[in-house]
Chain A
Amino acid sequence: MFAQVVVGGVAAGCVYGLVALSFVLIYKATRSVSFMQGELLMLGAFTAVVLVEALGWPAWVAAVAAVAASFAFGLVLERAVLWRAIGQPHLTPVLLTFGLGLVIRGAVTSVPEATHRMHRLPLPWSRPLTVGPVQFAPEHLMVILATCTACAVLALFFRHSRTGLALRACSEDSGVAAMLGVSPAAMHALAWALGAALAAFAGVLLAPVTFVEPGMGMVALKAFPAAVIGGLASLPGALLGGLFIGLSEALAGRFLPDGVKDLTAYGLMLAVLLLFPRGIGEIGRRQ
Chain B
Amino acid sequence: MLGCTIRTASLLSWALIVTVADAGVPGVTRDSIRIATIQDLSGPIAILGAPIRDGIVMRLDEENARGGVHGRRLTIAVEDSGYDPKKAVLAARRLLAGDNVFAFVGNLGTPVVMATMPLIVGAGRPHLFPFSPHQATYQPLQPLKFQIFAPYRDYMDAAVRHMVRANGYQRVCLLYQDDDYGLEVGRGVESGLGRLDMTLVERTGYKRGATDFSSQIARLRAARCDLVVLATVVRETVAAMREARKVGWPVDMLVTASGYSAQTHELGGAEVEGLYGVSVLPHPYPGTDTSRRLGEWIESYRTRYDADPNVWSAMGYQVADIFVQALRAAGPGLDVAGFVAAMEGLETSRDFLGGPGYRFSPDDHLGNRRGRLARIVDGRWRLITDYLD
Q: How far is the CB of B46 from chain A (nearest CB, A)?
A: 4
Q: Are A116 and B50 in contact (CB under 8 A)?
A: yes
Contact status B219-A219, CB under 8 Å: no
Known: A109-B43, A115-B46, A128-B246. A215 touches B208 (CB 8 A): yes
* The one of A135, A215, A261 that contacts B44, using a Cβ cutoff of 8 Å: A215
Report whether A118 and B205 are in contact in the complex, using a CB–CB cutoff of 8 Å. Answer: no
Are A252 and B235 neighbours in the complex by a CB distance under 8 Å? no
Q: Is there a chain B Cβ closer than 8 Å to A53's Cβ?
A: no
* Interface pair B42/A135, CB less than 8 Å apart: no
Knowing A117-B263, A118-B263, A211-B235 are in contact, say whether A254-B218 is a contact too (CB < 8 A).
yes
In angstroms, Cα B234 to Cα A116, docked, is: 13
Q: A221 contacts the other chain (Cβ, under 8 Å)?
A: yes
A221 to B205, CA, bound (A): 18
Check if A109 sits within 8 Å of B212, measured CB to CB.
Answer: no
Beyond A115-B42, A218-B208, A262-B207, whether A135 also contacts B215 by CB under 8 A is no
Number of interface residues of B (CB under 8 A): 38
User: Which of A3-11, A80-88, A148-156, A224-232 is the contact stretch?
Assistant: A3-11
Cβ B215 vs Cβ A251 within 8 A: yes
A103-146 residues with Cβ-Cβ distance < 8 A to B are: 106, 109-110, 112, 115-118, 120, 128, 135, 137
**B209 close to A258 (CB less than 8 A):** no
B48 — nearest CB in chain A belongs to which residue? A116
Q: Give a binary string over B321-348; 1 marks a CB under 8 Å from any A CB, 0 the rest.
A: 0000000000000000000000000000
If the complex has contacts A135-B246, A210-B235, are A12 and B212 also in contact, measured as CB distance less than 8 A?
yes
Q: Are B178 and A262 in contact (CB under 8 A)?
A: yes
| Chain B positions 44-63 with a Cβ under 8 Å from a chain A Cβ | 44, 46-47, 50-51
Report how far A214 CA is from B42 CA in the complex, Å. 10
Q: Tell me if B77 is interfacial: C-beta within 8 Å of chain A.
A: no
CB distance from A248 to the nearest CB of B (A): 10
Q: Is B211 an interface residue (CB 8 A)?
A: yes
The answer to whether B215 and A118 have CB atoms under 8 Å apart is no
B50's nearest neighbour on chain A, judged by CB, is A116
- Please report the C-alpha to C-alpha distance between residue A250 and residue B243 in the assembled complex, in whole angstroms: 13
- Complex Cα distance A177/B82, Å? 47
Q: Is the CB of A120 within 8 A of B211?
A: no
Interface flag for B214 (CB, 8 Å): yes
Partner of A215, one of B41, B209, B246: B209
- Enumerate B8-52 residues with CB–CB distance to A below 8 Å: 41-44, 46-47, 50-51
In the assembled complex, the CB of A213 is this many whole angstroms from the nearest CB of chain B, namely: 7
> B216 interface residue, CB < 8 Å from A?
yes
Question: Taking the nearest CB of chain A, how far is it from the CB of B185, in angstroms?
Answer: 15
> How many residues of A are in contact with the other chain, CB < 8 A?
43
Kindly provide the distance from the CB of A37 to the nearest chain B CB, expressed in whole angstroms. Answer: 14
Q: Is there contact, CB below 8 Å, between B235 and A137? A: no
From B239, which residue of chain A is reached at the shortest CB distance? A210
B366 to chain A minimum Cβ distance, whole angstroms, is 29
Q: Which residue of chain A has its CB nearest to the CB of B221?
A: A1
Distance to closest chain B CB from A218 (angstroms): 3
| Chain B residues, CB < 8 A from A281 | none
Query: B219 — nearest CB in chain A belongs to which residue?
Result: A254
Q: CB of A253 within 8 A of chain B?
A: yes
Q: Which of A206-242 contact B (CB under 8 A)?
A: 206, 209-211, 213-216, 218-219, 221
- Which chain B residues (205-248) contact chain A, with CB distance < 8 Å? 205-209, 211-216, 218-219, 221-222, 234-235, 238-239, 242-243, 246-248
Q: Give chain B residues whose Cβ lies under 8 Å from the Cβ of A209.
A: 211-212, 239
| Residues of B contacting A29 in the complex (Cβ-Cβ under 8 angstroms) | none
- Taking the complex as formed, is A78 at the interface, i.e. its CB lies under 8 A from any CB of chain B? no
**B44 nearest CB neighbor, chain A only:** A215
The residue on A at minimum CB distance from B234 is A118
Q: Chain A residues near B46 (CB, 8 Å)?
A: 109, 112, 115-116
Q: Does A15 contact B (CB under 8 A)?
A: yes
Interchain CB contact (< 8 A) of B211 among A15, A106, A115, A261: A15
Indicate if the CB atoms of A253 and B50 lie closer than 8 Å: no
- Chain B residues with CB under 8 A of A181: none
A9-B212, A215-B208, A253-B215 known; A4 vs B203 contact (CB < 8 Å): no
State in angstroms the CA–CA spacing of A20 and B208 once bound together: 20
A117-B263, A253-B204 are known contacts. Are A219 and B209 too (CB-CB below 8 A)?
A: yes
Is A39 at the interface (CB under 8 A from chain B)? no
The docked-state distance in angstroms from the alpha carbon of A221 to that of B239 is 20
Collect the chain A residues with CB atoms within 8 Å of residue B82's CB. Answer: 109
Evaluate contact between A259 and B209: CB separation under 8 angstroms.
Answer: no
Identify 23 residue pairs between A and B in the complex whose beta-carbon atoms are under 8 Å apart, listed by A's number.
Answer: A1-B218, A4-B218, A5-B215, A5-B218, A9-B214, A109-B46, A110-B42, A115-B46, A116-B47, A116-B50, A118-B263, A209-B211, A209-B212, A210-B211, A210-B239, A213-B235, A214-B44, A215-B44, A218-B208, A250-B212, A253-B219, A258-B205, A262-B207
Binding site for B on A (CB under 8 A): 1, 4-5, 7-9, 11-12, 15, 106, 109-110, 112, 115-118, 120, 128, 135, 137, 206, 209-211, 213-216, 218-219, 221, 246, 249-254, 258-259, 261-262
Closest 6 interchain pairs by CB? A8-B214, A253-B215, A218-B209, A115-B46, A12-B212, A254-B215
Given contacts A110-B42, A135-B248, 5 further A-B contacts (CB under 8 A): A12-B212, A213-B235, A215-B208, A252-B215, A262-B206
